[in-house]
Structure 1
Amino acid sequence: MNLAEREFLAHAAGQAADYVAGVCERPAGATAGAGELMKLLGGPLPAGPTEPTETIDLLGRAAAEGGVVASSGPRYFGYVVGGTLPVAVATDWIATAWDQNSGIFDLGPAVATAEHIAAGWLLDLFGLPAGTSVGFPTGCAMAHLTALAAARHHVLAEAGWDVERQGLQGAPAIQVVVGEQRHLTVDLALRYLGFGSDQLRVVPADGEGRMRVEALAGVLDACEGPTIVCAQIGDVNSGAVDPVSEICDLAHRRAAWVHVDGAFGLWAAASPTLRHLVTGVEKADSWATDAHKWLNVPYDCGLVFVSRPEAHSSAMLRTRTDYLPAGTPGERDAIEWVPELSRRARSLPVWAALRSLGRSGVADMIDGCCAHARRFTELLGACEGVQVLNEAVLNQVLVRFGDDDAVTRDVIARLQDCGTCWFGGTTWGGKAAMRISVTSWRTTPEDVDLTVAEIRTALAGALAAAAGGGEGGK
C-alpha cells in the first residue's frame, strides 16, 4: 500500500469515526428526502475515474444533510434495531479489510475459528442443548428459512421421504402450525420453502399476543402426518412470549418439530433476571434470532440454531462439488449451516462483542433496555391522555393517545418531525398505536425522561389541534 492509499483509508475512517462520535447529537430520524439525495448522489455515470476522496466525501455530505437515520443513537425507538457497539464497528471494519470469504475454512481460517468459538459461546449463553449446530445467516428471515428447511428435512425423513433428492412433488403433506401474532418473516420463509399461506393452521392469541395453548391442543389434534409448529418469544408489538415449554410438550407428544422465532426475545435467555420468561425454550428443535438487534452488532447478522445437526447440514449442503475440499474435523465450514456459499465475515463482530462484553455485560445490556421500557411504562402511564396497551415484559411498549386513532397518528407524526426521538406506528386490537422499542446500548434513563417530555409536548399539540386549536405545541 502506498502513502496515498493509506491516507485515503485514514480519511474514510476519520469520517466514520466522526459520525459515530456525534450520533447521540444527531436528529433521530432522516430529514432529507429521495429527491434531495438523488441530486446529491446521482446524475449520469461518470465518463471516467473520479477521485476516491471526492466519492467518500459525498457520503459524508449525505449524512450531514440528513440522509442517514440515527438508528444507532440513544433515542431511536421506531423499530427493534440496536445501536452498534464500538468494538463491533471496529471489528466490522477489520473484517472488511481482511476481505475473507468465510464460506469455508480454507478461505479464512481465523474467521472460521472465531465463528466456531462464538457459536459455542452463544449456545452456552442461551442455554441451548450441547451439540446444537449454529449458523450465521444474513438475518432472522434467512435464519427461519434455514431452520424450517431443517425441519422440513427431518419430518419428511421420518415419513420415509428424502426431500433434497425427491423434491416436494408427491411428498407427504406437512402440517404447519403458526400463531396468530407471528412475524411476517416466518410466512416469508415458509413461502420460500413451498408452503403457501392458505396451508397454514393458525392458532389464536390472547390479549397480549401469546399463542393460546388450549387452542393449540385442538389444532394439533386435527393434524395428521408430518407437523411443524412455529412459536414466538418476543412479539414485535407487545414483546409477549409464547408459553414455549407447554407448546413443546404438546407438540413433541405428537412428534412435531418446534421452531422458535426469537428475533430479539431469545436474548432474554442470556439474562439471569429474565430467563424465567423463556423457561423451556431449550426443549424446542430449532431457534432463530438476530445478533444485529439486541447484541448491537452491525448488519447483517442473523443466528440459527438446530438441535439436529444432520438435518441442518442436509438441508443446506447435501453434497460438495469436486473443487470444494472435504470437511476436516476441527475446521468449520460455514456453508454447511447457511444458504450462502460466498459470504462476508459477519460472525467476527459477534465474536468481538461477546468477548468484550462477557456474560455479565450481555445480561446488563438486555436488562438495561428492559428497565428503560418499564420506565416508559411508568412515566407514560401516569400521563393523562396516554394508554399503555401491554405488559412490558421485555423491551416493547405499546401506547395510544387520547383513545383516538387520529390523535395517536398525529402524535407519532409530531415526534418523527421533532428530531429528538423517533417512533413508528402500528395497529393493535384494530386501533392505532405507537410502538416503543428499546434496543440500543446507548439509551440511558435521561434519554427516556427527555423522550417522555417530547411525547407530552406532542400530545398537547395533537389534542389542541383535534379540539380546533390549530397547531398547538407542534
Structure 2
Amino acid sequence: MDELTLLADANDRARRYLESAATRRVFPDAAALAGLDAFDESLPDHGHPPSDGLRLLDEKGSPATAVSNGPRYFGFVVGATLPAAAAAERLMLAWDQCASSFDNSPVSAAIERIAARWVVDVLKLPEGSAVGFGTSATACTMAAIAAARRALLARKGWDFDADGLIGAPEVKVVISEMSHITVRKALRILGFGMKRVIVAPADEYGRIDPERVPPLDDMTIFCMQAGEVNTGEFDPFAVLVPRAKAAGAWVHVDGAFGLWARASSKAFLTDGIDGADSWTTDGHKWLNTPYDGAMVICRDAAALASAMNSDAVYLTGAPDAQKNLTLEFSRRPRGIPVWAALRSLGRAGVATMIERHCAQASRIAEGLREAGYEVLNRVVINQVLARAATDEQTVAIRQAAQASGDTWFGATVWQGRPAFRISVSSWRTTDEHADQLVTLLADLKRRL
C-alpha cells in the first residue's frame, strides 16, 4: 500500500470513528480493555506493513478509547476537537514542520504570530503581551515562573543566567491553598521547595481569602487562580492584584480553563485579572483544540523571551520566535489549531460556546438538586460539584455511571469527603445530552 492510499485509509477509519462517537461507550468495557493485549508484542525483527499497524490501531485501539471527542464525556474539563482545529491538525501533519523559528517554517511563524495576537485580543489581556504555545499548563507555568524569578532577581542586580541560584536573594512564592497540582509540580521542578512555598488560605468557595493573604513584597511571586478545579471559582483579582502590584510582587494567574470566561458574558468573574504579569491557559480544554496545546502569556514580552531564549550559532530567531518563548526547541506549531479554532468561531462564537456550556452546567445542577443530590458549588461557570446522601452512595453512583458506558466523569474530594465533578466543555454536548446525564444519575440514585 503506497503512502497516499495508507493516509486515505487512515482518514476513512477516523471518519468512521467520529461518526460513531455519539453512540460509542464513553469508557471502554472489559472486553475492549482486554483487547489491548494485542499490542503486547515483542519488537519484530522485520517490520510489518504499515496498513497492518493501522488496522491494529483501529480494530483494537479505537474500542479502548475514552470518547472525550464525543458529547457525553464530562471529565477533567476535556474539550472535544472543533472541526476547524482537527482539519488544521491533519494538514499540519502533512506539512511536518519543525516550528522553532521563521527559518525552520515561515508559515508556522507567520500563523502563530497572528494566533498570539488573537489570543491576547479575545482574552482582553494587555496588548503586546508575548504568547508561547506550549504542550501543557504545566510546561507553560514553568516558563512563566522561570521568567518571573529571573525578572525579580534582575531587579536586585542578580544575573541569574550567569550565577544561578547559589547565593542569590531568596524569591518567595505564595500560592492558594486550592492551587492546582500542575502549579505545585512546576514550582517543585524549578527547585522552590514545597516546604518553603507559602500557602494563602481559601474561603468556603475555594477562593483566596483577602483577609488572610500572607505578606507580599518585591521578591514574591504570587500565584492566583481563574477557575478552581472543583468549584470553578475565581480568586478576587480586583482586590488582590492591585495589592500585590503595590508591594512589587509578580502576579501569575493559572487560568487553564477559567481564563476563557473572559471571552464571554462571564468576564465579570475575571475583573482585575488583566493587571497580572503572566497567565497560563489551555486550548485543549475550553477552546476545543487538539491535545496538546497550551499557552503561556506574559505582559513583559522581553522577560519571557530572555528567560526562554534558545538561540544557537546555527539557528537564531526573533524574540517572538516560539523556541524563544517556550520550553521546547524542536516543536510542532501548536498555535495553528488555535488560530483555526479562533478563525472559525470568531469572537462571537467563542462567547456563545462558553456561555452555552455554563448554561448546561446550571441545567445539570438544577436537575441533580431535583433528584436529591447535594450540589456543593455555586456553579459560576461550567463545573458542577455534587455528592449523594452518603459517601458510600456517592462512590457507588459514580462508579456505576462510569461503568454504564453512557457517560464519564471523575471523582474528587471536597472538604474531606468524596464527591464527583462534572465538567461541561465539549462543543458537541447539547442540552439533550445534559438532560440524559441527569436522568441517568437520578435513576442510579433511586436504584442505589
2:232 counterpart (224, 234, 239): 239
- For the residue of structure 2 that corresponds to 1:146, the secondary structure is helix
The aligned residue for residue 60 of structure 1 is 58
Q: 2:123: which partner in 1?
A: 126
Q: TM-score when scaled to structure 2? A: 0.97
Give aligned pairs, total. Answer: 448
Distance 1:347 1:18 in 2: 27
**Aligned partner letter, 2:387:** R
Q: Tell me by how many angstroms 1:89 deviates.
A: 1.1
Determine if contact 1:211/1:242 at 8 Å carries over to the other structure.
Answer: yes
- Tell me whether 1:282 sits opposite 2:279 in the alignment: no
Deviation at 1:249, TM superposition (A): 0.9
Q: Distance in 2 between matches of 1:73 and 1:380?
A: 22
Task: Give the 5 Å matches for 1:202-241.
Answer: 202-216=199-213, 219-220=214-215, 223=216, 226-241=219-234
Q: Which residue of 1 aligns with 2:14?
A: 16
Q: Is the 8 A contact 1:172 1:225 kept in 2?
A: no
CA distance 1:458–1:344, shift in 2 (3 Å) = same
Q: In the alignment, residue 412 of structure 1 is paired with which amino acid?
A: R
Report what 1:314 is aligned to. 306
1:466 corresponds in structure 2 to none
Q: Does the CA-based 8 Å contact 1:424-1:434 persist in structure 2? A: yes
TM-score, normalising length: structure 1? 0.92
- 1:364 is matched with 352
Amino acid at match of 1:171: A
The 8 Å contact of residues 100 and 345 in structure 1, kept in 2 or not, is answered as yes
Change (3 A) 1:35 1:83: closer
**Partner Cα distance (2:189, 2:199) in 1:** 19
Give the whole-Å Cα distance in 2 for the aligned partners of 1:326 and 1:240.
39
Q: Which residue of 2 aligns with 1:304?
A: 296
AA paired with 2:243? L
In the aligned structure 1, how far is the partner of 2:285 from the partner of 2:408?
A: 17
On the 8 A contact 1:231/1:247 being kept in 2, the answer is no
Structure 1 residue 176, shift from structure 2 partner: 0.5
Question: Kindly tell me: are residues 63 and 457 of structure 1, through their superposed partners in 2, closer, same or farther at Cα, counting changes over 3 Å?
Answer: farther
Code of the residue aligned with 2:375 in structure 1: it is V
Question: Are the aligned partners of 2:71 and 2:426 in contact in 1 as well (CA < 8 Å)?
Answer: yes
2:397 equivalent among 396, 399, 411: 411
1:324 aligns with 2:322: no
- Does residue 190 (structure 1) correspond to residue 187 (structure 2)? The answer is yes
Residue 177, structure 1, aligned to residue 174, structure 2: yes
1:57-206 equivalent positions in 2, closer than 5 A: 57-64=55-62, 66-206=63-203
Mapped pair 1:432 → 2:429: no
Taking the aligned partners of 1:33 and 1:279, their CA distance within structure 2 comes to: 50
Q: Deviation per CA, 1:244-300: give whole Å up to 9, x if none.
A: 1211111011100000000000000111x1110101110000000000100101011
**What is aligned with 1:43?**
41
**1:398 paired to 2:385:** yes
Q: Take 1:435 and 1:19, find their aligned partners in 2: how far apart are those partners?
A: 27
Q: 1:195 to 1:208 in 2, by over 3 A?
A: same
| Deviation of the 1:302 alpha carbon | 0.6
RMSD of aligned alpha carbons: 1.4
Change (3 A) 1:437 1:42: same
Equivalent pair of 2:281/2:294 in contact (CA under 8 Å): yes
Instruction: Give the letter for the 2:276 counterpart.
Output: A
Q: Quote the offset at 1:197 in angstroms.
A: 0.7
- In 2, Cα distance between equivalents of 1:267 and 1:80: 12
- Asked whether 1:295 is paired with 2:287, we answer yes
**1:327 positional shift:** 3.0
Q: In the TM superposition, what whole-angstrom CA distance separates every residue of 1:94-113 from its partner, at most 9, and x where no partner exists?
A: 11110000011111111111
Alpha-carbon distance in structure 2 between the residues aligned to 1:380 and 1:254: 45
Q: Distance in 2 between matches of 1:340 and 1:143?
A: 10
Per the TM alignment, residue 326 of structure 1 is displaced from its structure 2 partner at its CA by 4.8
CA distance in 1, matches of 2:159, 2:240: 27
Report % sequence identity: 43
Partner residue in 2 for 1:465? none
Quote the Cα distance in structure 2 between the aligned partners of 1:266 and 1:378: 25
1:401–1:407: 8 Å Cα contact kept in structure 2? Answer: yes
Distance 2:193 2:374 in 1: 37
2:324 is aligned to 336
Question: Structure 1 CA distance, aligned partners of 2:221 and 2:246?
Answer: 13
Matched residue type, 2:52: E
- Given that 2:70 and 2:426 are in contact with CA atoms closer than 8 Å, whether structure 1 keeps it comes out as yes
Q: Which moved more, 1:45-54 or 1:117-126?
A: 45-54
Secondary structure at the residue paired with 1:71? coil
The letter of the residue matching 1:12 is A
Q: Which residue of 2 aligns with 1:445?
A: 431
Structure 1: unaligned runs, 5 residues or longer: 463-474
SS at match of 1:12: helix
Could you list the runs of 5+ residues in structure 2 that have no partner in the other structure? none
Q: Which residue of 1 aligns with 2:260?
A: 267
Residues in 1 aligned to 2:358 and 2:172: alpha-carbon distance in whole angstroms: 36
Deviation, 1:37, is: 4.2
